Structure 1
Amino acid sequence: MKITEDSHEPAGSVKHMLRVQYREHLKAFNRDLLEMCDTVRSIASHANAALLEQSLDDAETALTEADSLQEISDRCEERSMRLLALQNPVASDLRQVLSAIYIVEHFERMGSLARNIALLARQRYPEPVYPAPLHGYVEELARLVDDMGAATRNLLVEPDADAAVELHTIDEGVDDMRAYLCSLVSDREWEYSTREAVDLSMLARYYERYADRCVGVAGRMVFLITGLKPEAYLLRRDEPDYNPDEKFATIERKFRVEG
């Protein structure tokens, strides 16, 4: 996430030094957040390969990387506590820290869901998790979710409220695919085993929840940029007089004076 430099304190003053220290901590936090996102995406990529290609090596790699995710998460938690305790943050910084805390939680859950996919692939190896004729459907589901993961990372690098709300469109495709697969396994004409029906249902659920967490990250980014929830932002977006930057600048000026 981008950081806006906004210190108005004289260089060399105690307040200025504290502000510089605060910004350095915030930058380090954002680097950790991006590293966490990349780790989650790598886990998901290997989990997809394990699932779609019956690759035991990819399953093991995904599980190993999932174990390392907690270390990054703990580091992010420690940094967030330091940032909140270091000095009274201005409004934009407070939004950034709080948003990042929630995003870390989403990434933790995404890592767990990708790990579940890898575990399922490893448990069924060398057999596939799902019936071979349904490979195309599962592959498409994995592709849609991977696209959402890529879009989520882009939001961290280039925050954009409009791009964030667009993730709902891809998520609808994921929901439709999951509903379709679940309709297949519940159909009386299901011609495969009960084990395959259960595994496919679980698999579809893991992907759906992963996609929902991407939407959760996007929602936090909308709040970070605009101060609004996605639904409220969509309602306000087309209003000609809506200028969140000016409103937030006014709040921050007041905050500094009163602080």
Structure 2
Amino acid sequence: MRDLYNDQLEAIIANLVSMTHTVRAAVEQATSALLEADADAAETVIAGDKAIDEARERVEETSFELLATQQPVAGDLRMLIAALRIVADLERMGDLAVHVAKIARMRMPDRAVPPALRPTIANMAETAERMVAETARIIADRDVDAALALEAEDEEMDRLRRSMFRILLDEDWEYGVEPAIDLALLGRYYERIADHAVSMARRVVYLVTGQNPPHYE
């Protein structure tokens, strides 16, 4: 019976890692839709969000069942609490990828990102994808050092967003109001994806150590 319980706990971790890879792929495809006006990629992201929602429900159902029937304590209890919070972050990241894809789809057949900001958006997307991929490894390995380091990496995303706003607010901006609004939203979406990755990493620190890590300064 105890072996089954331990297997269920490990299955939750495996599901979280799998979901994280799915979310990373969604962010990658949403970015392709955005930068390349790829309609198929946009539709794939939008349609695929249902699978992320369903995966969240499965993790939640298993976690609540174990909380109710096994009365876990210490590390097992922390794991289930962390899993419930991580899976909520993942579901929200999937939603953010959908938001990116919908902006891309709305502006098709044109590309939503003007040439002046394509490098910045591409860098923001690359940073977000890298952070999500690293989070999958952090969850799988329960790597506290990598989890703490990820919060520092979030500074790069903040720097890129500030750079984007400098371009948007420059008096030489020539692309009009609608693209500026799109880009402000896109910057926020990628920034929030990075924030959720950091949140997930912090949950892993709590899972392993029982302590919430200090915020990176």
Question: Could you list the per-position Cα deviations for residues 124-174 of structure 1 after superposition, in whole angstroms to 9, with x for gaps in the alignment?
Answer: 111111211321111111111111011101111111111101112221010
Kept in 1, the 8 Å contact 2:13–2:140? The answer is no
Q: Which amino acid aligns with 2:76?
A: D
Kept in 2, the 8 Å contact 1:22–1:86? The answer is no
Task: List, as ranges, runs of 4+ consecutive aligned residues in structure 1 with deviation greater than 2 Å.
Answer: 186-189
Matched residue, 1:90: 73
Q: Which amino acid aligns with 1:81?
A: F
Task: Return the alpha-carbon distance in structure 2 between the equivalents of residues 143 and 43 of structure 1.
Answer: 13
Q: Which amino acid aligns with 1:21?
A: L
Task: Return the alpha-carbon distance in structure 2 between the equivalents of residues 91 and 32 of structure 1.
Answer: 21
- In the alignment, structure 1 residue 189 sits paired with structure 2 residue 189: no
Matched residue, 2:119: 136
Structure 1 portions without partners, runs of 5+: 1-16, 235-259
Matched residue, 1:61: 44
Question: Could you list the per-position Cα deviations for residues 165-215 of structure 1 after superposition, in whole angstroms to 9, with x for gaps in the alignment?
Answer: 111222101011111212221233322111111011000000000100000
Structure 2 portions without partners, runs of 5+: none
- In the alignment, structure 1 residue 21 sits paired with structure 2 residue 1: no
Shift of 1:96: 0.6
Kept in 2, the 8 Å contact 1:39–1:65? The answer is no
Task: Choose between structure 1 and 2: higher helix proportion.
Answer: 2
Kept in 1, the 8 Å contact 2:27–2:125? The answer is no
Using the size of structure 1 for normalisation, the TM-score is 0.80
Kept in 2, the 8 Å contact 1:54–1:121? The answer is yes
Shift of 1:38: 1.9
Q: Mark the structure with the bigger radius of gyration.
A: 1
Matched residue, 1:223: 206
- In the alignment, structure 1 residue 163 sits paired with structure 2 residue 146: yes
Q: Which amino acid aligns with 1:36?
A: M
Q: Which amino acid aligns with 2:49?
A: A
Q: Which amino acid aligns with 1:151?
A: E
Shift of 1:117: 0.4
Task: Return the alpha-carbon distance in structure 2 between the equivalents of residues 158 and 220 of structure 1.
Answer: 13
**Higher normalized contact order (CA 8 Å, seq sep 6+, divided by chain length):** 2
Q: Which amino acid aligns with 1:58?
A: A
- In the alignment, structure 1 residue 109 sits paired with structure 2 residue 92: yes
SS of the counterpart of 1:34?
helix
Matched residue, 1:204: 187
Using the size of structure 2 for normalisation, the TM-score is 0.95
Kept in 1, the 8 Å contact 2:34–2:104? The answer is yes
Match of 1:70 among 36, 53, 63: 53
Task: Return the alpha-carbon distance in structure 1 between the equivalents of residues 11 and 138 of structure 2.
Answer: 18
Shift of 1:23: 1.2
Kept in 2, the 8 Å contact 1:54–1:126? The answer is yes
Task: Return the alpha-carbon distance in structure 2 between the equivalents of residues 59 and 180 of structure 1.
Answer: 26
Matched residue, 1:175: 158
Between 127-136 and 94-103, report the one with greater CA deviation: 127-136
SS of the counterpart of 1:203?
helix
List aligned pairs for 1:33-52, cutoff 5 A. 33-52=16-35
- In the alignment, structure 1 residue 100 sits paired with structure 2 residue 79: no
Percent identity (aligned): 40
The number of residues matched between the two structures is 216
SS of the counterpart of 1:189?
coil
